[in-house]
Amino acid sequence: MRRRLLLSVLLVICLPGSTGAQARSANQLRFCLGSEPKTLNPLLVADDASETIRYLTGGVLLRLNRQTQQMEPELATSWKASRRGNAISFTLRPNVRFSDGTPLTAEDVAYTVERLMDPALHSPTGDSFRASEGKVVTQITGKNQIAITFPAPIVGLEKLFDQVAILSAKSPKKEMAVLGPYYVAEDKAGSYLLLNRNPNYWKHDAAGRQLPYIGSIRLDIQQNRDIEMLRLVRGEIDFINSLSAEYYDKLVAQAPRMAFDTGVGLDSEQIWFNQVPGAPLPAYKKAWFTSTNFRRAISLSINRQDLARVVYRGHARPAVSWVSPANKFWFNARLQPHPFDRKAALQALAQDGFRLQGGTLRDRAGHDVEFSVITNAGNKAREQMAAMIQQDLAAIGIRLNVVTLYFPSLIERITRSFDYEACLLGLVNDDLDPNAQMNVWLSSAENHQWNPSQKTPATLWEAEIDKLMRMQASTEDAMKRKQAIDRVQEIAWQQEPFIYLVNKDVLSAVSTSLRNAHPVVLRPQVYWNIEQLTLGTEVARSR
Amino acid sequence: MKWVRVAAIVFLVAVAAACLLADFVVPASYAQQFRDLPDAAPSSQHLLGTDDLGRDRFSRLLYGTRVSLLLAPAAALLSSLLAALIGGAAGFVGGWLESCVMAATDLFLSLPWLFLLITVRAFLPLNVSPVASVVITFALLGCLGWAAAARVICADARTLCGSDVILLARASGCGGFRLLWRHIVPNLKPVLYAQFWISVPVFILTEANLGILGLGVAEPLPSWGSLLRELESFSAFSAQPWQFVPLLLLVVTISCFHLALRKQEFWA
């Protein structure tokens, strides 16, 4: 009896299902989440894993097409934003039902907006709509029509609705009743989530077949990227949404058809000098850091091409501006990256009285030019970039000390004590609208990193940026806004308060069995067109 | 097994010579970045290939060995001496002193060192040269690593004080400092040696871990710790076996020290 029991246990252990290599059901898409979703409530999403679930299950009024970067109608067949930008009205698609069969009505939209703006809920999505104090008014103007009025204008109002998944006001299933292509069928904490096709999903293809094509999605929680890669190559998962350059190159060597370099993304890496007047730094260093010539010289001494080629293995581009070239409308295409030119750097330094003596750069008063750059410990790419910049600056006689700090310590230094000289960090950017960076570019902003929370602008060019940013935030005229943002980019390019280093490429891996996948730079890179994706078997059947 | 000892000594001498003569042996500076050859496989130009930034791994290994072989034993010596002083005194005197010292040791062991080290880093200046950073790191490790060893030594000293040898010594009129110096300390030497040799690899690995908190050796200076950190990105997906050379050298070097010094330990 005991022997038979032992044999049974061994059999269970040896079964593929218990080792993570579970036999997959037909027409099931599989991929990994780096962590467990913190919430399944679409209004409370604040992490990547929860955002994935919201994208796959949530039905929205308007959707940003990740490929064309244009807004498209979803649950709303049409919409109209007011000229002031403080109101928007929607006409809802008729005969749409939630996954549990409850019909979609204008009351559901009103209920969602009410919940979204409820201060007690602390919805991160709702924060984007809180331009000022005051009540948001929803008015049902017809059977399928609703108007929403905000207390103050909100720039890019319609784009914000891409994040608002409509909830049912009446369904007993609350937020688990969804309007998106899938619904959560199973949530095994710490292990996996299973999403099944929404039987009431409203979209159909040209042949009248209900979308999505793929029947279910299994999302395995997997933190180890190495295992994720091995599983992809073995065919146990269908894609990896975001890859590091290192893994991308390894994949190209083994399975080139699976690797996708979609091109430059929205994120940037930059270095900046501490220009805070009250910072605990010697006066002569403050004078260096506030000098445009000094910052320009540092910028000219950094070989950005090498950073992109060595650190990101060629999967990055020298950065130009705070708006990435991936942002088709807002990027100022007239600007070019600063060249790598040591001679020009030394000329710029000479204008401020710096001179190179015996391989060491000295300022007018004879101080050796030495400063430290802090970055967050554990970020391999940033540590490598700092080491490369260290060598680049050594070539013009500058000694750079690289200091890696525990992230909270770093944040303490750059936001409170200001006890640092230069900092190397990156900016993760999800929003195409540059207005999202008001909190960086206004001189009064807390995230105006080089000199935050200024009472009045410290320089004339910061005053001009303030004026331009406020102007673009107060108009809905896209061309006027574009002109203002272009000019802000020019000023930032000339003054270099942030020395932009590289924009990383968006890298993905997609199994050859997954069809219709066209990875894009915007999140979610691979499954943005989830309804159109098919698996090899499914394609054969549909044909 | 004499030949094993001889082989261990020869190996250690070879490693020490290679480290001391690194300036003449290595093909390039440990900091030089061959940016056209990042992550290269071993070749005649780069015996162990290059790292992610194109720096010669062999050069970095030799200079890293020099740094770690000099400073990790120094830190281990410091912590062992502190442990001998504190633990030995507590065990020898006994009574309230032992209780107080052991309570203090328990408190020391229970402190959240991770957070304290982060705090320590916050107080250190940012403009520190790479050499100073490595000295500070190992000095910190030496000052903080005595507590566990002190408990072992205290227990050993207490046992020794009740032994027949010490009883005879006391009976023959030997006491105080003479008893401590001539009888207790020599009998504690094997334990001290053991604590010392355990500490060396522990400190090397701790230095590697501290790098993640920003307390380790600063760029571009290499150490065994910083070289071992490269294994963080080791991928079974596309293995590069030569990345294991620093780990292998660490294990072999520490083993050779054990083999080479075993006889002296027995004599003690």
Q: What is the pLDDT of residues A429-452, one digit of tens each?
A: 878 889 888 889 999 988 899 999
Classify residue A458: in a domain, yes or no: yes
Q: Are A114 and A186 within one domain?
A: no
Selected for mutation to probe chain A from B115, B127, B215 (highest A CB count within 10 Å) is B127
Cα torsion B33, B37, B40, B43: sign = negative
Q: What is the pLDDT of residues A458-488, one digit of tens each?
A: 999 999 999 999 998 878 788 999 999 999 9
- Return the closest-CA partner of residue A251 out of A236, A230, A221: A230
Q: How far is CA A295 from CA A274, A323, B219, in A?
A: 11, 20, 23
Closest Cβ–Cβ partner in A246, A370, A378 for B127: A370
> What is the distance between the alpha carbons of residues A417 and A409, in angstroms, rounded to a whole number?
10
pLDDT tier for residue B228 given thresholds of 50, 70 and 90: confident
Q: Furthest-apart CA pair in chain A: how many Å?
A: 90
- Return the closest-CA partner of residue A216 out of A185, A248, A177, A251: A185
pLDDT above 90 (res A53): yes
- Is B129 part of the contact surface with chain A (CB cutoff 8 Å)? yes
CATH number at A161 reads: 3.90.76.10
- In three-state secondary structure terms, A94 is coil
- Is A422 part of the contact surface with chain B (CB cutoff 8 Å)? no
Classify residue A469: in a domain, yes or no: yes
Classify residue A496: in a domain, yes or no: yes
Check A403 against B214: CB less than 8 A apart: yes
pLDDT above 60 (res A525): yes
Q: Are A186 and A300 within one domain?
A: no
Angle between helical axes of B130-144 and B57-93 (0-180°, round to 10): 30
CATH number at A388 reads: 3.10.105.10
- Cα A351 to chain centroid, rounded: 40
> In chain B, what is the straight-line distance between the N-terminal and C-terminal CA atoms, in Å?
20
Check B219 against A386: CB less than 8 A apart: yes
Q: Are A339 and A448 within one domain?
A: yes
Q: Name A534's bridge partners.
A: A515
Q: Are A341 and A221 within one domain?
A: no
End of a domain among A176, A204, A225? Answer: A176
Query: Which of A33-37, A206-210, A350-354, B252-256 bottoms out in mean pLDDT, i.e. has the lowest?
Result: B252-256
Token reading at A276: 């805070």
pLDDT tier for residue B233 given thresholds of 50, 70 and 90: low
Residues of B in contact with A391 (CB under 8 A): 31, 33, 220
Q: Are A115 and A203 within one domain?
A: no
- Is B220 part of the contact surface with chain A (CB cutoff 8 Å)? yes
Q: Which of residues 207-246 of A touch B (CB under 8 A)?
A: 226, 229-230, 233, 246
pLDDT tier for residue A215 given thresholds of 50, 70 and 90: very high
Closest Cβ–Cβ partner in B52, B129, B212 for A384: B52
Q: Are A131 and A203 within one domain?
A: no
Q: Are A340 and A379 within one domain?
A: yes
Residues of B in contact with A247 (CB under 8 A): 235, 237
Classify residue A43: in a domain, yes or no: no
- Return the closest-CA partner of residue A435 out of A165, A160, A163, A162: A160
- In three-state secondary structure terms, A514 is strand
Check B236 against A390: CB less than 8 A apart: no
Classify residue A77: in a domain, yes or no: yes
Classify residue A40: in a domain, yes or no: no
The whole-number pLDDT of residue A401 equals 93
The one-character DSSP state at A24 is P
pLDDT above 90 (res B210): no
Classify residue A355: in a domain, yes or no: yes
Query: Which of A124-138, A269-283, A353-367, B34-48 bottoms out in mean pLDDT, i.e. has the lowest?
Result: A124-138
* Structural domain harbouring A26: 2-35+180-238+511-542
Check A230 against B233: CB less than 8 A apart: no
pLDDT above 80 (res B165): yes
- Per DSSP bridges, beta strands A216-221 and A28-33 are parallel
CATH number at A515 reads: 3.40.190.10
Q: Are A300 and A330 within one domain?
A: yes
Task: Please tell me whether the peptide bond between B125 and the residue prior to it is cis, using omega within 30 degrees of 0.
Answer: no
Q: What is the pLDDT of residues A8-41, one digit of tens each?
A: 444 444 444 434 445 567 799 999 999 999 999 9
> What is the distance between the alpha carbons of residues A280 and A488, in angstroms, rounded to a whole number?
30
pLDDT above 50 (res B268): no
Task: Please tell me whether the peptide bond between B220 and the residue prior to it is cis, using omega within 30 degrees of 0.
Answer: yes
A352 phi and psi, to 5 degrees? Answer: -100, 10
> What is the distance between the alpha carbons of residues A528 and A52, in angstroms, rounded to a whole number?
10
Classify residue A41: in a domain, yes or no: no
The one-character DSSP state at A96 is -
pLDDT above 80 (res A157): yes
Q: Are A472 and A437 within one domain?
A: yes
Residues of A in contact with B128 (CB under 8 A): 401, 403
Q: What is the pLDDT of residues A97-133, one digit of tens each?
A: 999 999 999 999 999 999 999 989 888 888 888 767 7
Q: Are A67 and A141 within one domain?
A: yes
Q: What total number of domains does chain A contain?
A: 3
- Cα A343 to chain centroid, rounded: 37
Check A250 against B238: CB less than 8 A apart: yes
How many alpha carbons lie under 13 Å from residue A309 in its C-beta half-sphere? 10
Q: Are A186 and A317 within one domain?
A: no
- In three-state secondary structure terms, A61 is coil
Is A21:A208 a contact under the CB 8 Å cutoff? no
Shortest alpha-carbon distance between residue A403 and chain B (Å): 7
End of a domain among A129, A158, A176? Answer: A176
Q: What is the pLDDT of residues A377-429, one digit of tens each?
A: 888 899 999 999 999 999 999 999 999 888 888 999 999 999 999 999 998 88
Q: Are A232 and A289 within one domain?
A: no
